[in-house]
Structure 1
Amino acid sequence: MKKIINAPKDVVEEMVAGLVGAYPDYVKQLPDTMVVARSDDYDQVALVSGGGSGHEPAHAGFVGDGMLSAAVCGQVFTSPTPDQIYEAIKATDKGKGTLLIVKNYSGDVMNFDMAKDLAAMDDIEVASVLVDDDIAVEDSTYTQGRRGVAGTVLVHKILGSLAKEGKPLAELAEYGTALVQDIKTVGVALSGATVPEVGKPGFVLAEDEMEYGVGIHGEPGYRREKIKPSKEIAAEIIGKLKAEFNWQKGDTYGLFVNGMGATPLMELFIYFNDAKNILAEEGIELAFTKVGNYMTSLDMAGASITMIKLDDERTRLLQAPVHTIAW
């Protein structure tokens, strides 16, 4: 294992210190926690998300005006504890309630729910939106139902824009629950991720192998096979998404290609271009596009494609300006 770190046990603490030290105009760290919060003032429903570390810039990179109020950083690939989430809720509440945006992993769901119960004892109104955009497999490792992956970032963006516009908690929760149904993702891996305290990849692929549907913690996908050209990989993934959405010619979508951490941007742009061309042949209109590393998996090589069904309002909310590190 070759990594630019000090002690493996200190990676999250030192990462958070470095992040807030580099971007003090955007974020601050809550004392004695691994919570990254907005460093500016605001008057709206608070949005809190988080999860295990190792997916950077998610979620701390999306804290700021127009997106999240706070992100809770768990240990690598490990859900944050209820008390940390509770501290984030207390620190960001402005008297208008808090919306939790939670990826669908058993530990995250349980711990965010426990934090919600703790906040209720302080008379803080809390609602949740559960993100389960990964259509690759059902009931994977750590998951009942579908996993929450890169589509979570689009949920942060759209609900963050609505919260900034002053929408109340109940409306945000209802909007978010409907929104998640129209966001679908499938990933592909070329190599496994190495957790620092483990010191070796979570799974190993041969030099000429790839795996469709791998999760962001290295959970098994749905098929391994010999590596193919980008066009053929994109065709496989777009085919999966088409079957889920059942789209029609002339429908409007957003296309989001997300890197897993170790794939060069050159390759992500090639992959995006191939997906875009396939969608053009399908007669799909693209009103929003994005490419880059947003929901990673440490040093995993690979990428995911997320598509979101759009209308004028969703498009406007995705394009609204924000003040965050990573968007």
Structure 2
Amino acid sequence: MSVQSKHLLNTPESLVVESLRGVCATNPEVALDEANKILFQKAVDRSKVALVCGGGSGHEPAHSGFVGKGMLSAAVCGNIFASPSPSQVRNAINLVDNQKGTLIVVKNYTGDVLNFGLAKEQFGALHPEKSNSLEFVIVGDDVAVGREQGKIVGRRGLAGTVLVYKVAGALAQSGASLNEVYEIATWVAGRLATIGVSLGHTHVPGTGTSESDISTSEIEIGMGIHNESGHKRVSPIPKLSELIPQLLDLLTSTTDSDRSFVPFKGRDEVVVLVNNLGGLSELELGGIVAEVRKELDARGYGISRLLSGTYMTSLNMPGFSITLFMLPEKNSTSSPSIDLILSLLDEETDAPGWKCTSKAVVSSLDKYSFHSKTEEHRNPGQNGLPASDPNSFIDSIKKAAQALINAEPEITKMDTIAGDGDCGLTLKAGAEAVLSKAETGELSGSDVAQAMISISQIAEDKMGGTSGALYSIFFSALAQGLHASGDSNHVSSQGWTKALHDARDKLYTYTRARPPSRTLVDPLDAFISTLSKSFDASVKAAADAAENTRDVEAKAGRSAYVEGDRLKNEKIPDPGAWGVKVILENI
């Protein structure tokens, strides 16, 4: 089936910002930080919890269309289908900073989880007094990805995420605490089930013309919002009266242990969201809504609310998704009341992406000039937390960085087999930047927490990708742990041990990799877990764990996509794990 590859635009590179300008042109209540692609409420109520969300562009009206009173405070937009950077997200957090705290909501995609998570941890490291005023919710509502296929990665985040925005945003607007908003967002996220269907793929502006491998006689069930493959293909394309029952079976099944994610009991009260993925006519969507309603009625489900329209798209994908949000039982004492949930869904909002849109008429673009504030950093040693021996501390960092640079050819060779070939160069780039800052004195042993923040920022700026995000999160979290160590003169060995344990635990909130997983987590965890013995013993445990990745099945990371027998035959250790080994052996 041919993919629609023609678009109306000025240039692919300017499309995202120009689209955000368009949102501002139709909604006088929002403003745009163009440099960071952040759409935010002009009049942020600093006395109430703020909601920050975002992700790649191309899913409009998500996420920018849901910025407004009673929904989101700010939306951070990346390039098409690409996560925004941590610095963009940090700027958004600063923009909506308030007295009660901020809830960050992301769809369950690795880039979004890592980059938004890194921004949260960096913000906490830079502003330790506010580190407890941020909460993080990951939404994974896709039932097409079963437990076996998803493994530790989990379900993808789809249109059900919008219902989390609405319920949590309305509760925040009512004046609730951060903990209350976080708990209800988490509760809603755990009761969502979504399945998508498409007649074909979509085309990203600026990329080459392509052909969809979905034939004109096929429909794909379970396709993701970034053109990811679905659960299965059906040919010929079935009638809606045949298709909708199949989809509802996937959504509500409690007998399929691989896909039973929400505890439906039958005849439950539900909120239904029928979402246009971007390329369906309203005529077709109306027919789908009618068939969904008919089938749910026949199955005895109580439909408390039925929402239909364009909420979360995949550009112009010719398909739709169905979301079921299972409401609590009317007499339940362990859940929010059904009346509360429905009242929050019904609460008015001026977010244009929701059905109740702003009625204000804007005759011209309300210009709003905004310049992001540069985050302030302490000078090394100024009210800082020094190492017990500052010179040895910085010499040790230099030695580890140089060793990592020297190991680049070996790590690159490993990664050409076990990954995508760039691990050695990525680690080298980070190490060179660390070494440069250490030699110029910008990285100092006079403030170890600030040094960890600097290394975190280097990993973000110079390394990038998944490994850069993982290193950045770890070192940002380590800085927070050092701040909280309670030491006044210098960091004790006990302070370092506790901070390292805390940093590992925070890293685990953003990645599901656990040893043994054939990732850098294996030696890192081995090192931290054995620190109660001796430093040398811990380094030996880390080195052994890195060596053992030769025989470990890849459960996460790039190696998960490499054919398993090849890794076993080649006996190649994980390149990321080897990098950690090199660092620790030279500290």
The TM-score range, normalised by the shorter chain, is over 0.9
Q: Is the 8 A contact 2:64 2:75 kept in 1?
A: yes
Query: How far apart are the structure 2 equivalents of 1:307 and 1:26?
Result: 31
TM-score, normalised by the number of residues in structure 2: 0.54
Matches within 5 A, 1:47-66: 47-66=51-70
User: Structure 1 residues 246 and 88, CA, compared in 2 at 3 Å: closer, same or farther?
Assistant: closer
2:286 matched residue in structure 1: 269
Q: Is the 8 A contact 2:275 2:320 kept in 1?
A: yes
1:12 matched residue in structure 2: 16
Among 95, 99, 109, the residue aligned to 2:99: 95
1:165 matched residue in structure 2: 174
**Corresponding position: 1:280 with 2:294:** no
Among 40, 43, 49, the residue aligned to 2:43: 40
**CA offset digits 1:182-231 (Å, max 9, x no partner):** 11100001111100121335843111111000000011101012111112
Q: Is the 8 A contact 2:264 2:326 kept in 1?
A: no
Give the Å deviation of 1:326: 1.3
Give the Å deviation of 1:111: 0.3
Among 130, 141, 150, the residue aligned to 2:138: 130
1:324 matched residue in structure 2: 351
Q: Looking at CA atoms only, which structure, 1 or 2, has the larger radius of gyration?
A: 2
Three-state SS of the structure 2 residue aligned to 1:55 is coil
Query: How far apart are the structure 1 equivalents of 2:120 and 2:265?
Result: 40
Q: Is the 8 A contact 1:194 1:202 kept in 2?
A: no
Three-state SS of the structure 1 residue aligned to 2:106 is strand
Q: Is the 8 A contact 2:65 2:353 kept in 1?
A: yes
Structure 2 gaps of 5+ residues are: 254-259, 328-337, 355-587
Give the Å deviation of 1:177: 1.4
Three-state SS of the structure 1 residue aligned to 2:35 is coil
**CA offset digits 1:57-77 (Å, max 9, x no partner):** 001000000000000010000
Which amino acid in structure 2 is aligned with residue 291 of structure 1? Answer: S
Q: Is the 8 A contact 2:41 2:73 kept in 1?
A: yes
1:239 matched residue in structure 2: 249
Query: How far apart are the structure 1 equivalents of 2:85 and 2:199?
Result: 31
Query: How far apart are the structure 1 equivalents of 2:234 and 2:274?
Result: 21
Which amino acid in structure 1 is aligned with residue 247 of structure 2? Answer: I
Give the Å deviation of 1:246: 4.9
Three-state SS of the structure 2 residue aligned to 1:147 is coil
User: Structure 1 residues 249 and 220, CA, compared in 2 at 3 Å: closer, same or farther?
Assistant: closer
Comparing 205-214 with 35-44, which one deviates more in the overlay? 35-44
Query: How far apart are the structure 2 equivalents of 1:7 and 1:247?
Result: 47
Which amino acid in structure 1 is aligned with residue 35 of structure 2? Answer: D
**Corresponding position: 1:183 with 2:186:** no
Higher helix share: 2
Q: Is the 8 A contact 2:44 2:73 kept in 1?
A: no
Q: Is the 8 A contact 1:26 1:63 kept in 2?
A: no
Comparing 163-172 with 48-57, which one deviates more in the overlay? 163-172
Three-state SS of the structure 2 residue aligned to 1:286 is strand
1:28 matched residue in structure 2: 31
**Corresponding position: 1:260 with 2:263:** no
Please report the RMSD computed on the Cα atoms of aligned residues, expressed in angstroms. 1.6
Give the Å deviation of 1:249: 4.6
Q: Is the 8 A contact 1:249 1:283 kept in 2?
A: yes
Q: Is the 8 A contact 1:193 1:202 kept in 2?
A: no
Among 291, 297, 313, the residue aligned to 2:314: 297
Three-state SS of the structure 2 residue aligned to 1:9 is coil
Give the Å deviation of 1:313: 1.7
Query: How far apart are the structure 2 equivalents of 1:300 and 1:95?
Result: 41
Q: Is the 8 A contact 1:195 1:201 kept in 2?
A: no
Q: Is the 8 A contact 1:85 1:115 kept in 2?
A: yes
Query: How far apart are the structure 1 equivalents of 2:104 and 2:210?
Result: 31
Three-state SS of the structure 2 residue aligned to 1:188 is strand
Q: Is the 8 A contact 1:162 1:172 kept in 2?
A: yes
Q: Is the 8 A contact 1:26 1:325 kept in 2?
A: no
Higher relative contact order (CA 8 A, sep 6+): 1
% same residue:
38
Three-state SS of the structure 2 residue aligned to 1:159 is helix
Matches within 5 A, 1:218-229: 218-226=227-235, 227-229=237-239
2:425 matched residue in structure 1: none
Query: How far apart are the structure 1 equivalents of 2:19 and 2:34?
Result: 15
**CA offset digits 1:85-114 (Å, max 9, x no partner):** 000000011121110001000000000111
TM-score, normalised by the number of residues in structure 1: 0.95
2:582 matched residue in structure 1: none
Give the Å deviation of 1:235: 0.8
Which amino acid in structure 2 is aligned with residue 316 of structure 1? Answer: S
**Corresponding position: 1:312 with 2:309:** no
Structure 1 gaps of 5+ residues are: none
